[in-house]
Amino acid sequence: MTIAKTSTGQPTQANQWTNTADSDNSAVLQKAKNIIESNLYCSLSTCSTEGEPWISPLLFVYDDNWNLYWSSAIISKHSQNIYSNTGKVAIAIYGSPIPEGTGQGLYFTGTAQEVESAEVAQQIIRWVGERTGKPNPKTAADYLGNSPRRFYRFIPQNVWVTGERILSNGQLVDTKIVLNLNP
């Protein structure tokens, strides 16, 4: 479904409550970065070729280009869905132990693929150690070759962050802001 863009870029029912006016707003981009930095886990949504959805909570790390990385067993359902469904995935990052109506989250769509570079795998291992505060004795070889686990890279194509709640016909409606990652 294509999101209709209003002339003002403000969220409306016609554009599925999506704000495009603040896509380049530095405060909004900082809000999104804060969400990534303050959450260790994301929810990865995949789908089989038969249309069966699956969601998995994952520990993730990220780079300066908004790519996300995680490790999973090759045989896991979400990994198999990535291999069989051209890598199409959606990811949500949010903190859940907060009062109703105050949630802040990031929504991503894009593609995921297996990391095949030993250099990149070693960088991911370093990021995991930095993010969790725990040294990781593993090496890139633990995620390549005959290993049952792999690192995966998610490359975002579309990103939204939680917007303001607005009143419509007596009901509060959640909005989202489209982010321009390359302003």
Q: What's the pLDDT tens digit per position in 33-67?
A: 999 999 999 999 999 999 999 999 999 999 999 99
pLDDT of residue 126: 96
- pTM for this predicted structure: 0.91
CB of 153 closer than 8 Å to CB of 79: no
pLDDT interval class at 29 (50, 70, 90)? very high
Q: What is the pLDDT of residue 101?
A: 74
Q: Is the dihedral of CA 142, 138, 74, 130 positive or negative?
A: negative
Question: What's the mean pLDDT in 112-117?
Answer: 97
Task: Indicate if the pLDDT at residue 99 is higher than 90.
Answer: no
pLDDT score for 32: 95
